[in-house]
Amino acid sequence: MTSVNINRATASSLDPRAMKATSIKTTADPSSEQEPAALHITATSSNPRMFTLPWERPLATWPRDLLANLPRGISRHVVRFVHVGDDVYAMKEITQRVAEREYELLRKLQKLELPTVNPIAVVTGRHTREGEPLEAMLVTQHLKFSLPYRALFARNLRPDTAERLIDALAVLLVRLHLAGFYWGDVSLSNVLFLRDADAFSAFLVDAETGDLHPSLTDGQREYDIDLARTNIIGELMDLDSGNLLAGEVDEVGVGNRLVDRYHSLWSALTDVDSFDPDEMWKIERRVNRLNDLGFDVDELEMKTEEGGNRVLVRPRVVDAGYASRKLLRLTGLDVQENQARRLLNDLDAYRASTWRQGEDLEIVATDWMREVFEPTVRMIPPEYRSQIEPAQFFHEVLTHRWLMAEKAGHDVPMAEAVQSYISESLPEYRLDSEDMKTINEEADAGVVDDEMNWQGGHAQAGQGEQADRDRTDKDANGHEVEGQDAADSGVTGQTNAGGQNGAGTQTDRDRAVEEVSSQPAFEDANGGRSSLRSVYAPGSLDAAADQDDQDDAVWASS
Amino acid sequence: MAEVVFDHVTRIYPGNDEPSVSDLSLDIKDGEFLVLVGPSGCGKSTTLRMLAGLEEVNKGRIMIGDRDVTTMQPKDRDIAMVFQNYALYPHMTVADNMGFALKIAGTPKDQIRQRVEKAAEVLDLTEYLDRKPKALSGGQRQRVAMGRAIVRQPKVFLMDEPLSNLDAKLRVQTRTQIAALQRQLNVTTLYVTHDQTEALTMGDRIAVIKLGVLQQVGAPTELYDRPENVFVAGFIGSPSMNINIHPVVNGQAKIGEDTISLPREAVDKLTPEDQGKIVVGFRPENASLASPSEPDAFSLKVANVEDLGSDGYIYGNILTDNSVAEQATVMSDQNKLTTIRVNPRDLPKVGDVVKIHIDPEKMHLFSPASELRLN
């Protein structure tokens, strides 16, 4: 069996779609570019409100009422989310050359249907009212429901969160490389993660150092991979420094995982199997290999060589983990696969029982969360809140209800089932959790400081203090530290903002419980480490987005 | 630290017929700061990326020290690309921000601290080592990013237009810092820029490249004082050199009705391909106002004047047969006007016709056919 690389073999010039992507054509020679004397906007949007924005002011001083309080990633530049009519745009203040270049690149990548943020405009020729020139601005569409990795880490205790992000990043990197995009600055910071049917999907948000080529050299790919590894490890080390990372995460291991995943995926995706028509069983072997990598095969592209003597096969793959990703997208609940399946089934039952099959599942899911899921898990007695994951609790209540119904011969109301479960079954957790505590404490002996800092009262208090300091610094220090402020304050922000929709009240109580709890986490039925906060925070974030303008103290973005 | 050698290196992009870099031979000495400068598309970034391992080398080889790195992966080359938009990590101290890559590489703690402290010293960050990035100013943060490259102690620094994404204020400040820093650290550095001012102010030596072909390598003053061809003459220096083609009559350059003496050995080098013409170049500061009767001077019709206080500039058109010479200028960035620097107290009026004398010692003569230097 021979392997050839389709991409490298066929691509010798840029994709025509990319060639015609935009009227902005930057050259490598900045001296040939003249900063326009008057405001100049090149936009893909015809939103007339673009012209009403205060372009004559430095972005950092834009009025608060224009800004959307959403979590931002680390950036070297001033970045803000701005309401423009019904849209939210991300604005980045950079030099004209970089702005135009990045706009042009993002346009090309969009034309190539790659997962990147959508460029909206490049704004040049900005001046203050006094005539002082201001830097150019790159405007992109805010990717709805997306989150920077720091916001995810602030709210996810699933121990494989880092790994799942890395897997998403590996997929993104491979896709970009296949299209001939050399990134030059791969990192978690330069990516946004979206909860969708594919769990975490990674989107490129920063193309400043990138270049689009007909195809990439091995050196370019390897450089990107090596840089990605270093940056990821650095980013995780940083989270660790901020006690935002569960103690058991091995930063270097996670960084290495990207390298491994990338290479496996690249090979799986680009190696073309070539075999005789009577060796079709080799397709199955190929598919199995992809399954081993955690991917489902969506399509197989097969063609015969001229003469028909050899069959060439190239697979197209999608991520595995369908149920947990679907629930994640619908409800923001980040749970195990089996829990997700259970919750989705209940969601379907709810939809059917309320005669809402014709409605958007997203809308039904919101109601299900409010009417079914949240009222149920809110009934977890405080003393158990640090011990049973809400999704697990919900799952067990459903099982309990089913058993009760079977015994009674008729349906049992949820509230009744919950009470029964709490009094009859939940106490079993006490013993279990004590045992678990001992086991965990022994197991975590080597990393106990990290674990305690992360879960214990110190960390919570520390985060709060950090956010307070950030706010103070921001007021005193202006825009320079704001990119970090957002990331920091997002940590507490999501939790606090959740208070706006009810779930946050719960979360606040959870936190209070966690602060006095010495139990960091426990092994759930599926063997994964879990925590209460993982359930509530995602919904809280959405609430934060909705509430953003009233919630400045929490998000502290301006 | 190490010497870098490009040995007859050629890069042809797939699908292209013309090489982007053609038969480049260039040595960067151990500890030297070499600036590769040229206009858009000249191959300078391609050259840097070949050294970085990002571009394949189609012909020739690249050496770092005594190692042939031509086919080596980027991470194995012991180079550092400075300013690849390093992010600063908010929870980490300045020291950790600078040293974490060493930690990943498994460098012993005391050695990391030692290297970080040394880097902080040259970057003037010592007192901030235990602070978090948010306590720093923009310039200090920029230096922390530099520190991340420095602590690795690579054999070679690579910098590709590192100032292009900085705002104007930070750009000048950082330019000075990079140059000073490189001299302190003494690490072999290849710096790529389109900006000849950056090249002149920063480089130990400058390599000028055009259309993939190396034009000249030398110290800034060498390139400024003795450009080897018309391109280098026009590219290096601001305001740029006045360069015009003139007929040679009786061994003298005919400029309008005037003649300028030319050195014999230069005229002797002209060939039939030059068709009896010569390229005369002179820098604005190497000419002066002359009296109307003075020999070896030409007439210039003043189109504009500038009084900068310390200097005055005359911009004008060379007169040919009492009419403005239409196609005399080969290369000049002053809207094809001839530029003369004079004492601002002696500035003529716009519309005047003045006589200009070129310092014969500072005249640059080139063959119109080969564009190579004659004197």
> Token digits for B253?
């350059």
Residue B145 sits in the same domain as residue B251 = no
B372 domain residue, yes or no: no
Alpha-helix residue ranges (DSSP H) falling in chain B: 44-52, 94-104, 109-123, 138-150, 168-185, 196-202, 220-225, 230-235, 264-268
Residue B157 sits in the same domain as residue B258 = no
Which of B182, B213, B233 is where one domain is finished? B233
B280 domain residue, yes or no: yes
A218, A229, A262, best to mutate vs chain B, most B CBs in 10 Å: A218
B121 domain residue, yes or no: yes
Give the closest of B15, B87, B165 to A98, CB-based.
Answer: B165
Residue B226 sits in the same domain as residue B244 = no
pLDDT of residue A488: 32
**Each residue of A357-414: pLDDT tens digit?**
888 888 999 999 999 999 999 998 887 776 677 887 898 898 889 899 989 988 888 8
Number of domains making up chain B: 2
Residue B121 sits in the same domain as residue B160 = yes
Residue with the two structure tokens 């079914």:
A372
Residue B40 sits in the same domain as residue B167 = yes
Residue with the two structure tokens 């200097």:
B311
Is A217 touching B (CB cutoff 8 A)?
yes
CATH of residue B331's domain is 2.40.50.140
Residue ranges of chain A whose pLDDT lies below 70: 1-12, 24, 26-35, 144-145, 152, 154-159, 194-200, 246-247, 289-299, 314-323, 335-338, 386-387, 428-558
Report the Cα B45 to chain-centroid distance in Å.
Answer: 13
Is A219 touching B (CB cutoff 8 A)?
yes
Q: A149, exposed or middle or buried, with CB in 10 Å at 0-12, 13-18, 19+?
A: buried
SS3 A311: strand
Residue B254 sits in the same domain as residue B322 = yes
Residue B208 sits in the same domain as residue B266 = no
SS3 A457: helix
Residue B285 sits in the same domain as residue B202 = no
pLDDT of residue A34: 62
B373 domain residue, yes or no: no
Q: B342, exposed or middle or buried, with CB in 10 Å at 0-12, 13-18, 19+?
A: buried
B374 domain residue, yes or no: no
Residue B26 sits in the same domain as residue B125 = yes
Give the closest of B13, B74, B85 to A219, CB-based.
Answer: B74
Domain architecture of chain A: domains with CATH: 40-143 (3.30.200), 149-322 (1.10.510.10), 323-377+389-418 (no CATH), 426-558 (no CATH)
Omega within 30 of 0 (cis) for the link into B239: yes
B209 domain residue, yes or no: yes
B375 domain residue, yes or no: no
Check if the beta carbon of residue B214 is closer than 8 Å to that of residue B228. no
pLDDT of residue B71: 92
Domain that includes residue B146, residue range: 4-233
CA-to-CA separations, A73 to A188, A200, A394, B293, in angstroms, rounded: 9, 16, 33, 72
Q: Whole-angstrom Cα distance, residue B139 to residue B324?
A: 50
Check if the beta carbon of residue B365 is closer than 8 Å to that of residue B277. no
Which of B193, B213, B233 is where one domain is finished? B233
* Rounded mean pLDDT for each run of 10 residues along chain B, 375 residues in total: 92 87 95 93 91 93 95 90 75 91 91 93 91 81 84 90 76 83 90 91 94 95 95 92 91 88 92 92 94 88 91 88 48 68 90 92 94 93
Residue B276 sits in the same domain as residue B307 = yes
Residues of chain B that touch chain A, judged by Cβ-Cβ distance less than 8 Å: 13-15, 39-41, 45, 52-56, 73-75, 84-85, 87-92, 96, 100-101, 103-104, 133-134, 137-138, 161, 164-167, 194-195
pLDDT of residue B127: 94
Which of B233, B267, B287 is where one domain is finished? B233
CATH of residue B203's domain is 3.40.50.300
Compute the CA torsion angle B213, B217, B222, B225 (nearest 10 deg).
0
B35 domain residue, yes or no: yes
Check if the beta carbon of residue B211 is closer than 8 Å to that of residue B43. yes
CA-atom Rg of chain A in angstroms: 25
Residue B194 sits in the same domain as residue B227 = yes
Which of B44, B42, B40, B52 lies closest to B26, judged by CA? B44
pLDDT of residue A327: 83
Is A27 touching B (CB cutoff 8 A)?
yes
Residue B177 sits in the same domain as residue B245 = no
CA-to-CA separations, A27 to A33, A100, A163, B341, in angstroms, rounded: 8, 10, 39, 32
Give the chain A residue whose CA is nearest to the CA of B98. A234
Residue with the two structure tokens 């010495």:
A518
